[in-house]
């Protein structure tokens, strides 16, 4: 596995701008073409990598939900982030005495 340094990435970008194909660049650095595409995308401010499902937001909660037609096994579930509802999520609601 080859670690791509910032110097290597700059050289890759220069080669790409001069007309080299992504496959040629990948072969030169002993990486897969998809790796080159991903590094170009990330270095140029492309789509950021997804964050955690809950992101430690106190107003949201993570629940597991079925993603394959309602299968009840754990392998068929995925995390989703929902708005926190105090009465459902077991958080006590503070009431102010009148």
User: Across the 98 residues of the chain, what is the mean pLDDT of every consecutive 10-residue run?
Assistant: 82 90 92 87 61 64 70 64 71 54
Question: Do residues 54 and 87 both lie within one domain?
Answer: yes
How high is the pLDDT of residue 63? 75
Q: Can you give the pTM of this predicted structure? A: 0.44
Domain assignment of residue 78, yes or no: yes
Q: Which residues form the domain of 34?
A: 6-43
Rg for the chain, CA atoms, rounded: 23
CA 86 to the chain's CA centroid:
29
Give the CA distances from residue 43 to residues 9, 10, 17, 63, 98, in Å, rounded to whole numbers and listed in that order.
9, 10, 15, 33, 57
Question: Do residues 36 and 70 both lie within one domain?
Answer: no
Question: Do residues 80 and 38 both lie within one domain?
Answer: no
How many domains would you assign to the chain?
2
Question: Do residues 64 and 33 both lie within one domain?
Answer: no
From CA 1, how far away is CA 57, in angstroms rounded? Answer: 36
């Amino acid at each position: 596995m080859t670690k791509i340094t910032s110097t290597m990435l700059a050289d890759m970008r220069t080669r790409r701008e001069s007309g080299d194909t992504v496959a040629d660049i990948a072969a030169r650095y002993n990486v897969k073409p998809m790796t080159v595409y991903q590094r170009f995308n990330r270095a140029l401010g492309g789509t950021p990598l997804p964050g955690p499902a809950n992101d430690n937001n106190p107003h949201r909660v993570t629940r597991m939900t079925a993603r394959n037609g309602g299968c009840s096994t754990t392998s068929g579930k995925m995390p989703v982030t929902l708005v926190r509802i105090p009465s459902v999520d077991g958080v006590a609601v503070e009431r102010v005495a009148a």
